[in-house]
Amino acid sequence: MTNQTGHIDQIKQLNTGIVYRVIAQHGPISRIALSKQSQLAPASITKITRELMDAHLIQEREFPVLGLRGRPAIGLVTESEGWQFLAIRIENNQLTLSLKEISSKTLAENSYSFDVKGNQQFCLQLSALMSLFFEQNKNCLERVTAISILLDGILDSSSGVIYRLPNYDLDALPISNYLTEQTGLPVYLNPSVNALALMDNLSYSTQRRNKNIIYLQLHDVVNIAVLNQEKSLDSSTRHPILFGHIPVEILQGLDCYCGGKGCLETLVSVSSILKQARILLADYPASILNQKEINIEAICQGANIADSLCLKILDSVAQQLAHPLAMMINILGTQLILINSPLNSSDEYWYTQLHHYINLYVNPLYRSKLLIEKSTFSIKESETAVIHHSLYDGSLLLKLLQG
């Protein structure tokens, strides 16, 4: 009986999410068209839409039909006003809290210094700043429905646990459970690259023929998200992808915050690239970097004018990434790599080199079809994608329908 009940709940969640997603993407849409698009029976459409309307998650709206006279048709659209979520971003010892409508509109945003160490201090300071934020923005508060957390470290989205976080000395912190106990709200913890991948997929999935995609994030951390036919790999396996922690220099490599040695991230993260530039600078007296502050922008500018040191640095990054990416491509049959990185400012040279080195390792079956392109969304823009995904898969919708 328990299994049967669980099965029925899964079907309801799936169908409710499908209906909401079709309305969000195609609204205003009639119930007849909704039934065809969702491939659900009219009786199911009637029941689901009635529940969504009673919860004020969708509404009816008149819309004109081209070529027809008389009264406008009645269609369904999503209703986002008043439905809010709290978005949390943690980076560079800074905590950013944003109150957003589920439509993505930002209602309030504040940033705070967040220099803490250890699980207990992390939780206490986070709770205190959330309380302060809500007090400062109480005039904007309506129906806060969920919390999204985006950060870069070793974490498990399915269990809501942060295992390691650079500079914070965290150890297996069950942050989602903690915040749910504090607020009563569902919490969606994700690495930033997952949000970037979801945002890109929600925005461009219908336009892209390539459905096997690796999203590469190269910033202060190095990570990937993998989508196969629009389904993320880690949601299927329920285990985090630790691409940046593939050991590539085991014997002489640097210690990594994950506890390993010689991880890929210790070689090609932004901080590692800048460190390499400073080490090599003395050997390149004519380099433009001798005249500028050494940062990623300067390195990309130098590469764009063929500065030899800058080209060497980007070439080295491409070489280091190529082999682990080629292994992923050979396993997954990847057709497209989308890159989110400040190195995209020199994409013409860097992508060419990355493609060249990947081709040295990847199977010929995938070599000719592989594309490398920019992913242009920012992490801030991607915050809403995590909540939209939880609405579209029905998991958050059912919580809202249950009150």
Q: What is the CATH number of the domain that holds 162?
A: 3.30.420.40
Q: Does 33 map to a domain?
A: yes
Q: Does 61 map to a domain?
A: yes
Calpha distance 403→162 (Å, rounded): 28
Number of domains in the chain: 3
For residue range 238-284, list pLDDT tens digits in order: 788 899 999 988 778 888 988 889 999 999 999 999 999 999 999 99
* pLDDT at res. 2: 43
Q: In terms of domains, do 229 and 366 share one?
A: yes
Q: Does 401 map to a domain?
A: no
Calpha distance 225→196 (Å, rounded): 9
Q: In terms of domains, do 72 and 92 share one?
A: no
CA 389-84-381 angle, to 5 degrees, is 55
Nearest to 176 by CA among 165, 164, 185, 168: 185
Q: For residues 114 and 93, is the Cβ–Cβ distance under 8 A?
A: yes
Half-sphere exposure of 246 (CA within 13 A, CB side): 17
Q: In terms of domains, do 152 and 112 share one?
A: yes
For 48, the domain range is 2-78
Q: In terms of domains, do 293 and 338 share one?
A: yes
Q: Verify cis geometry, omega within 30 degrees of 0, for the bond prior to 28.
A: yes
Q: Does 399 map to a domain?
A: no
Q: In terms of domains, do 224 and 112 share one?
A: no
Q: Does 393 map to a domain?
A: no
Q: In terms of domains, do 233 and 111 share one?
A: no
* pLDDT at res. 1: 38
Q: For residues 78 and 23, is the Cβ–Cβ distance under 8 A?
A: yes
Mean pLDDT, range 58-82, rounded to an integer: 75
CATH of residue 65: 1.10.10.10
* Length, in residues, of the chain: 403
For residue range 132-152, list pLDDT tens digits in order: 999 999 999 988 999 999 999
Q: Does 44 map to a domain?
A: yes
Choice among 43-52, 54-63, 109-118, 257-266 with the minimum mean pLDDT:
54-63
Given 63, 78, 93, the domain boundary residue is 78
Q: Does 390 map to a domain?
A: no
Q: In terms of domains, do 113 and 131 share one?
A: yes
Calpha distance 374→341 (Å, rounded): 8
User: Would you place residue 65 in the very low, low, confident or very high pLDDT band (cuts 50, 70, 90)?
Assistant: low
Q: In terms of domains, do 142 and 274 share one?
A: no
Q: For residues 268 and 222, is the Cβ–Cβ distance under 8 A?
A: yes
Half-sphere exposure of 32 (CA within 13 A, CB side): 2
pLDDT at 221 over 70: yes
Calpha distance 278→170 (Å, rounded): 30
- Six token digits for residue 161: 């646990």
Nearest to 225 by CA among 210, 215, 217, 213: 215
Could you write out the DSSP letters of every residue in 70-127?
A: SSPEEEEEE--TTEEEEEEEEETTEEEEEEEETTS-EEEEEEEE----SHHHHHHHHH
For residue range 285-318, list pLDDT tens digits in order: 999 999 989 999 999 999 999 999 999 999 999 9
Q: In terms of domains, do 219 and 328 share one?
A: yes
Mean pLDDT, range 33-57, rounded to an integer: 91
Given 78, 109, 134, the domain boundary residue is 78
Q: In terms of domains, do 212 and 298 share one?
A: yes
Given 78, 109, 137, the domain boundary residue is 78
Q: Does 397 map to a domain?
A: no
